[in-house]
Structure 1
Amino acid sequence: MTIQHVAIVGGTHGNEITGLHLVQHWQESPDEVLRNSFATELHIANPQANRIMKRYVDQDLNRQFALEDLNNTALTNYEQSRAKAINHMLGPKEDPRVDFVIDLHTTTANMGLTLVISENSPFLIGMAFYIKSHMPETVLFYEPKERLDDYFLASLGRHNGLLIEVGPTPQGLLRADVYDLTRRATLHALDYIEHTNRGDVLDLPDSYEAFEFVDTIKLPESTDGRRWGMVHPSVQDQDYQPINPGDPLFLTFSGEVIPYSGNATHYLAFVNEAAYYDRNIGVSLMNKITLQRP
């Protein structure tokens, strides 16, 4: 397998400006992202949302890239139309022009440097392992999907893509540490592609600890959708830490503790993610797994 075209995308969410500024920097000073064996192109995904500093104008852009939706001409709001334009630019998804996509994101949750792995392929898992071998603080977030059904922008790549998620950082804010983690992870991803194209033998571990997505849990809400509770203080900032049945999970506005009602220990992610308040989601649940390199 040879990678010929790589797209680095920033600003998919308009108020996540780390990736936006990295892409703009590389557009002005591209030498850092140039490699000998493939072409690197740089794109800003959601310029209108960037201008108004909101996650989206009408709808989350990073949920619009399932093949069925891209081919549905009745879906015409701003982000739905923008997804079709990006698909025309990088795809089409059924037979993409671009081989691999790196999509840059930030989170308000305390998730550090997280790589979202959407496919159990030797290439993609090898890339994640390569980055983690150079940046041991990296967390591997495993959420496999069929590429054509996957609604993330990164799935437009012929050989899929990598979503880099770094936090915590408030929406609309630049933090130098988050910027640096994102930059270094991206450059390691490009180096890995260069090594792969050259046929270099890389000394990588056979496995790493990872977290596999299970489900989300909503914040306490009434039958009419009104929120009446928040994430419990003992859970706040505890991303990738265990939660056991009966542990405190939420706290109502009147001070009542709502325990975790699951029947098994899970691990937390996207704890109190501000971007998910539009769907009233409080936390994601994960299983800790050993991810093997195929």
Structure 2
Amino acid sequence: MDKIKQVAIVGGVHGNEFSGIYLVKQYQATPQHVTRPSFDSRCVWANPEAYYANKRYIHSDLNRQFKNVDLANSSLSNYEQSRAKVLNAELGPKGAAKTDLLIDLHNTTSNMGACLILTQAGPFYNKLAAYVKMKMPEAIISRDEDHFAAADHALMCTLGRYGVLVEVGPQPQSVLRHDVLELMDRMTQHILDFVELYNTDKLPPLPEHTEAFRYLHSIKLPMNEQGERLGMVHKNVQDKDYQPIQPGDPIFMLFDGTEICYEGQQTVYPTFINEAAYYDNNLAMSLNEKVLITLE
């Protein structure tokens, strides 16, 4: 079994998601909290300039810059594009990374609780999901386009040989919440505990199946031909991340009082509902299907 020798914990990919930034600072001050006998950890603050500017990013979303083709493109040279290349050199290089596991810490304004997002599939991820869910039953496991090869993923966490996102909310942008920071720390500690047990062949018996949600697609707010918003997320959906939406359920309320209903053919589960960071693209929510992760 391949061992995890080097872990990177990354905060502040987005400058206005404060929990990861302050948790990384806390871990840097108390490194004994993030190391275990079988591996070393390093903590990285990914996008300090965006934090100082109190913005998600300076020029472009850092968490969309890590496709292999983009990392190799020297003409992509704005702040975040350049920063991605620096991080790739520091933690990667992608595809032959010195980092065995990259844990990327994020906040959302949506009511998603503590969510472990997997962008790849395989036995390591299956066992990790089962362990985290067993230790933290309130945790949500999300499979986000895990059928894509790592080279085709643009996310920061795919720099490592293995990589996951810890996504915790609700938390407003540029704000710290005690409960959210605690949830993020708890999930991170469970991941680190798992790695130690995985490395030493001491994992406890794990459930054969773990409930998870697989990303299907995102839907936009209703707009007119001029790109102006015609409505908002329906109150029956707001703050109900991972709660089922049935065909025919209202999902939008237009400003003229008209309800817009879900026209799909299957039950779906919304996430990132009314996420503030996605308003520039008028994205209302992501839709998911419920799946089971099998241990092996």
| Separation in structure 2 between the aligned mates of residue 251 and residue 194 of structure 1, nearest angstrom | 49
The structure 2 residue matched to 1:185, chosen from 171, 184, 187, is 187
Structure 1 position 75 matched with structure 2 position 76: yes
Structure 2: how far apart are the matches of 1:128 and 1:17? 25
SS in 1 for 2:74: coil
Offset from partner CA, 1:150-203 (integer Å, 9 cap, x none): 111000111x21100011111111111110110011111111111111121421
| Matched residue, 1:288 | 290
One-letter amino acid of the structure 1 residue matched with residue 209 of structure 2: S
For normalisation by structure 2, the TM-score amounts to: 0.97
What RMSD in Å do the two structures reach over aligned CA positions?
1.0
Paired position in structure 2 for 1:151: 154
Aligned to 1:66: 67
The residue type equivalent to 2:263 in the other structure is S
Query: What are the Cα deviations for residues 228-284 of structure 1, in whole angstroms up to 9, with x where unaligned?
Result: 211011110111111112211111122221111222221111111111111110011
Q: Give 1:157's aligned amino acid.
A: G
Cα distance, 1:223 vs. partner? Answer: 2.1
Query: Once the 2 structures are TM-superposed, how far is the Cα of residue 125 of structure 1 from its aligned partner?
Result: 2.1
Q: How many residues align?
A: 293
Which sections of structure 1, spanning at least 5 residues, go unmatched?
none
- TM-score of the superposition, structure 1-length normalised? 0.97
> Equivalent residue for 1:108?
109
Q: Distance in 1 between matches of 2:157 and 2:117?
A: 10
Q: Once the 2 structures are TM-superposed, how far is the Cα of residue 51 of structure 1 from its aligned partner? A: 0.8
Q: Distance in 2 between matches of 1:140 and 1:187?
A: 16
Who is 1:8 aligned against?
Answer: 9
Task: Give the residue type in structure 2 aligned to 1:284.
Answer: S
Show CA shifts across 1:83-108 (max 9, x none).
11100100110211111100000111
Quick one: which amino acid aligns to residue 246 of structure 1? G
- Secondary structure at the aligned position of 1:132 is classed as helix
Alpha-carbon distance in 2 for matches of 1:41, 1:125:
24
Task: Name the residue aligned to 1:41.
Answer: 42
| 1:6-26 deviation line (CA, Å, top 9, x unaligned) | 000000111100000000011
Kindly report which structure 2 residues correspond to 1:122-271, keeping only aligned pairs within 5 A, or say none.
122-143=123-144, 144=146, 145-158=148-161, 160-271=162-273
Return the alpha-carbon distance in structure 2 between the equivalents of residues 126 and 136 of structure 1: 15
Give the letter aligned to residue 253 of structure 1.
F
Contact 1:147-1:155 at 8 Å conserved across structures = yes
How far apart are the structure 2 equivalents of 1:211 and 1:66? 24
Deviation at 1:114, TM superposition (A): 0.6
Matched letter for residue 243 of structure 1: I
Gaps of 5+ in 2: none
Identity %: 48
